[in-house]
Amino acid sequence: MRSLTKFFRNYAKHYVLLMPFFVLFTIFYFYPLVYSVVISLMKWDGIHAPVFVDIQNYVRIVNQPRFSISMLNLGRFVLVTVPVGITIALALALLVDTFTPRWEKFFRGMYFFPVIIPMFLSAAIFRYLLSPKVGILPLALEAFGITGINWLSDPSYMVAAVALVDMWRAIGFNFLLLFAGLKAIPKEYFEAARVDGANRWQEIFHITIPQLEPVLFLVIVNGFIGALQAFDIPWLLSLSTFVNYGGTRNGMLFPVMEIYMAAWGRQDFGGASAFAVILLTITLVITVIQFAWRKHRLGN
């Protein structure tokens, strides 16, 4: 009893300071999460009383063609945007790290600029750049004899168009994180390596990347979580509406788009919640695997 009193006397003020966070977290994150799981087991249109239907919503959602199409699009998108985007961000960070301080500041601002551009403006820019008749990318490909690619209406290339816009925006943020990590590496490591005769590539693979591992891990985990929640870029690129969404033959249909339309377009809140829980489970599984793999690799 005395130890408990001592604990509250020493630490109560700290928990009081943390209380606003826990209250807001419970109201805006934990409660909606639990509520979504409950609603996923209900048939509910948002107007009438919910009716318990067990796992019927999950079975119905999984058997819908739009589910498989959206998940396939998401898988292709994640496999492109995460590894390619992070690799480019790392390469840019390594490149800018060799510049003088004045040029470092210039390129830090230039690469971060796409991050602060409003999403609708980014989509409008790339709808113009990818336009078959006047877009820079199609015209550049034509110079190499590559024609007939319609990035915004051909399902074979629509996911690639979404990945291109997403990487253009995300690379700047990842670049800053990785660049900050590079600056935190002690210069003595590189000086010692040069004395031993190491070249630039040996420095990168044996010093830079191992020392950047915590930052790289953060960037990779954040990249997967962000990519799995893709919504606004494909929605804007495909000019989706409540009447028609996902683009030509659902070439830009993604899970969050289908969740949004199921809930607010068709008032199928039970099915939307079931889909959301499935997507959340996939995200959690991938994240847990990443943490477990890192723990195993580090031998902890």
Q: Is residue 167 part of a domain?
A: yes
Domain that holds residue 268: 65-298
Mean local confidence (pLDDT), 125-143: 87
- The answer to the question of residue 214 being in a domain is yes
- 251-254, long-range: CB < 8 A, 24+ apart: 251/73, 251/153, 251/154, 251/155, 251/156, 251/158, 251/159, 252/73, 252/158, 252/159, 252/161, 252/162, 253/66, 253/69, 253/70, 253/73, 254/70, 254/73, 254/74, 254/77, 254/162, 254/230
Q: Report the 10 Å Cβ neighbour count for 183.
A: 11
- Residues composing the chain: 300
61: pLDDT strictly greater than 90: yes
| pLDDT one-digit tens code per residue, 153-179 | 999 999 999 999 999 999 999 999 999
Query: What is the model's pLDDT at position 101?
Result: 85
Does any domain span residue 88? yes
- Provide, rounded to the nearest whole percent, the portion of the chain with pLDDT above 70: 98
Give pLDDT tens digits for 246-257. Answer: 999 999 999 999
Decide if 40 is inside a domain. Answer: no
Tokens 């979504």 belong to: 36
- Write out pLDDT tens, residues 14-59: 788 889 999 999 999 999 999 999 999 999 998 889 999 999 999 9
Give the model's pLDDT for residue 179.
93
174-223 pLDDT, tens per residue? 999 999 999 998 888 888 888 888 888 888 888 899 999 999 999 999 99
Q: Is residue 190 part of a domain?
A: yes
Residue 291 in any domain: the answer is: yes
Paired with 42 in beta bridges are 52
Q: What is the mean pLDDT of residues 107-122?
A: 89
Q: Are 94 and 204 in contact (CB under 8 A)?
A: yes
Split into its structural domains, the chain has a count of: 1
CATH of the domain at 160: 1.10.3720.10
Residue 283: inside a domain: yes
Q: Assess if residue 164 is contained within a domain.
A: yes
